[in-house]
Structure 1
Amino acid sequence: MARSSRDYDESDVRIRPNRRGSRPRSKDRPAHLDAVPARVTGVDRGRYTTYVEEGDTRRVVVAMRARELGRKGIVVGDAVHLVGDTTGDDGSLARIVRVTPRETVLRRTADDTDPVERVLVANADQLVVVSSLTNPEPRPRLIDRCLVAAYDAGMEPLLVLTKADLTDPAPFLEQYAPLSVPAIVTSRRDGLITGLDDVRDALSGRVSVLVGHSGVGKSTLVNALVPLALRATGVVNDVTGRGRHTSTSAVALALPDDDGWVIDTPGVRSFGLAHVDLSRIVHHFPDLEPGTAQCPRGCTHDEEECGLDAWVESGSAGPAGPARLDSLRRLLRARTPVTGDSHD
């Protein structure tokens, strides 16, 4: 190809301008001193539903995560700060620029060997384990695992037993008496839930997470506590005895009269505990914990050399010591799944 007779010089070379400017990039980030505090009540595909309280006004604001937060996870219950359009008007979108350090974290893993833990809910102070007494049958191992997760998270546990109109709750309650876990029994009569007032009192002024396997009546309970919740309810399969998943994501709902929060979660069929610190479980047995001083280093508290046996035999743990030790060890063993256990 023939070259042009004109010679090229530097004026013919086009240099792309530096779009980022000549100043070095600063690591400083905006302080966002005017950010508005809020609570995350729902998470859906990168959009966060938040609840903003300013004086006597309350509003729902949809937000997205600001880029400066990086890949930091945000879950239901998180206390956050918003900037941008925080009016809550249709079509508005704010930005979450700050996440307040969490006071409690409820976690689970896929199974007991999975090192990756998933944060379910933040900043709750009470874990409400909902179980039906029949149809579907209660799953003690799953309940035990939920109790372990509550102790590890520093949350207070509460058992709520449903469908007492179909069977006597006494035998089941007897299993958990040594654990000193408070329990509330509910039943359905003439379309009304008896025991609902007791549940409401237990949730008053608290941030409570409701967990349980499908079909136990958890969403029905939430709808009764928060009439405008409109959580979907399902039925139990007569063949498998299992309920249909009706809640697909966690959601935080304000109880009427500004009297606390209830967080409804999807039905669970397993609760991995690979992340659990065993010492936190023992801490919730103050009558037994002093006896661990006689345990060998690295004791799992479920072995022949465990010092707790001698502590209980000496009577130092009180008359309920043997039953309490059995319950503690039952919870510790909950971290180890039993092959073929359909109730796990």
Structure 2
Amino acid sequence: MSWWDQDDDEDEPDYDESDVRVRPNRRGSRPRTKTRPEHADAVTGTVLGVDRGRYAVLAAEGTADERELVAARASELRRKSVVTGDHVDLVGDVTGAPGTLARIVRIGDRTTLLRRSADDTDEVERVIVANADQMLIVVAAANPEPRIRLVDRYLVAAYDARIAPLLCVTKSDLADPGPFLENFAGLDFPVFLSGRDRMPLDAIRESLIGHRTVFVGHSGVGKSTLVNALVPGADRAIGRVNAVTGRGRHTSSSTVSLRVESPDGHGWVIDTPGVRSFGLGHVDPSSLLGAFTELAEIAENCPRGCTHLPDAPDCAIIETVGAGALGDAGRARLDSLQRLLTTFASG
């Protein structure tokens, strides 16, 4: 008998698999699940502003329990952006007491989404604001000179987002705004004229009540001055125009919602940083036609793929307007549509 067949220690116990202790794998030992808490007790609010990962949120708007909270984005939303104007659900400490922090766990449906891209070739969109229903475009009659193409781009973005545009021309005491406004004769939206001796605050404020209105404009056109006049205590920084370049200095560095009060109620001004470019790489050009209801109906008779531009063959809109069926108003509307389409197509 070989030595390994000999039983040298008869007292040694026999072992089997059930006697072996397996050290548990602590990392990942519990199965992952995609189930998330329902947060049935969540509080709903609206994002007023964003600052370095912290969100100012207004809860219970218009009630006796209205309060402003500071919140962070919950881990389950780490891949989703939260922007000014978003309707969100919050949990955690939602009292709004100093030093407290709530958590945003859900983002509500967005009725509108105003976006821009870095340039016309960049399809990566940059969300400016959610759930706005109006856009007030602020432009100066002079100093700096009005930029028609930039206003066209604002209009394209507004129509694409289904946001109603308004226009305010500041510094109208320095130059006649008439020639500039002729470029938009075919577009039906309110226009306000403001100058050193007159600022139609009552009329502008009335147009804001009951709405969430995003203010956009080139730096130095007087947008922050207008916001400060409409919302006392807003303290939005006011820039100056460089005497050499004619360009305004960027002052507002963040997008923020400010309440506008009136005896008839309140509305919201959403002030944005001044921009010198407004890329449209994300826009679907077909959405522009939707802003011209009467022309869109005629366009149903256009050939497939019709651009509606002056050189488009067999364009039903061009033929109808050319025949005088819609009168001078129709010609002005078609001119505006074609200019906006050209602005988008030419970049």
State the 1:14 CA deviation: 8.6
Aligned residue type for 1:106: L
Within 5 Å, give how 1:119-268 maps onto structure 2: 119-189=127-197, 193-257=198-262, 258-268=265-275
Distance 1:289 1:12, change over 3 A: closer
In 1, Cα distance between equivalents of 2:101 and 2:21: 45
SS in 2 for 1:260: strand
Within 5 Å, give how 1:51-66 maps onto structure 2: 51-53=58-60, 55-66=63-74
Asked if 1 retains the 8 angstrom alpha-carbon contact of 2:259 and 2:267, the reply is yes
**1:232-268 deviation per Cα after TM superposition (whole angstroms, max 9, x unaligned):** 0011001100100000110011112551101000001
Aligned residue type for 2:333: R
SS in 2 for 1:118: strand
Match of 2:335 in 1: 326
SS in 2 for 1:266: coil
**1:147-195 deviation per Cα after TM superposition (whole angstroms, max 9, x unaligned):** 0111010010000110112222222222212112221111122xxx521
Candidates 302, 315, 322, aligned match of 2:324 = 315
State the 1:57 CA deviation: 2.6
State the 1:290 CA deviation: 2.4
In 2, Cα distance between equivalents of 1:74 and 1:180: 33
In 2, Cα distance between equivalents of 1:82 and 1:136: 43
Between stretches 86-95 and 48-57, larger displacement belongs to 48-57
State the 1:300 CA deviation: 1.5
TM-score (norm 2): 0.89
In 2, Cα distance between equivalents of 1:249 and 1:200: 22
Match of 1:279 in 2: 286
Asked if 1 retains the 8 angstrom alpha-carbon contact of 2:117 and 2:282, the reply is yes
State the 1:19 CA deviation: 5.5
Aligned residue type for 1:207: R
Between stretches 124-133 and 302-311, larger displacement belongs to 302-311
State the 1:90 CA deviation: 1.9
Asked if 2 retains the 8 angstrom alpha-carbon contact of 1:287 and 1:317, the reply is no
TM-score (norm 1): 0.89
Candidates 32, 38, 51, aligned match of 1:44 = 51
In 1, Cα distance between equivalents of 2:337 and 2:20: 82
**1:184-219 deviation per Cα after TM superposition (whole angstroms, max 9, x unaligned):** 111122xxx521111111111110000001000001
**1:290-332 deviation per Cα after TM superposition (whole angstroms, max 9, x unaligned):** 2212322111111331332111122232332222211110011
In 1, Cα distance between equivalents of 2:346 and 2:300: 28
Equivalent residue pairs, number? 326
Asked if 2 retains the 8 angstrom alpha-carbon contact of 1:43 and 1:76, the reply is yes
Within 5 Å, give how 1:27-106 maps onto structure 2: 27-53=34-60, 55-106=63-114
Asked if 2 retains the 8 angstrom alpha-carbon contact of 1:187 and 1:195, the reply is no
State the 1:93 CA deviation: 0.7
Between stretches 258-267 and 45-54, larger displacement belongs to 45-54
Between stretches 122-131 and 178-187, larger displacement belongs to 178-187
State the 1:274 CA deviation: 1.6
In 2, Cα distance between equivalents of 1:15 and 1:287: 75
Distance 1:307 1:321, change over 3 A: same
Match of 2:295 in 1: 288
Query: Percent identity over the alignment?
Result: 56
State the 1:110 CA deviation: 0.8
In 2, Cα distance between equivalents of 1:253 and 1:113: 33
SS in 1 for 2:186: helix
**Structure 1 portions without partners, runs of 5+:** 1-8, 339-344
In 2, Cα distance between equivalents of 1:29 and 1:249: 32
In 2, Cα distance between equivalents of 1:264 and 1:283: 27
Asked if 2 retains the 8 angstrom alpha-carbon contact of 1:112 and 1:337, the reply is no
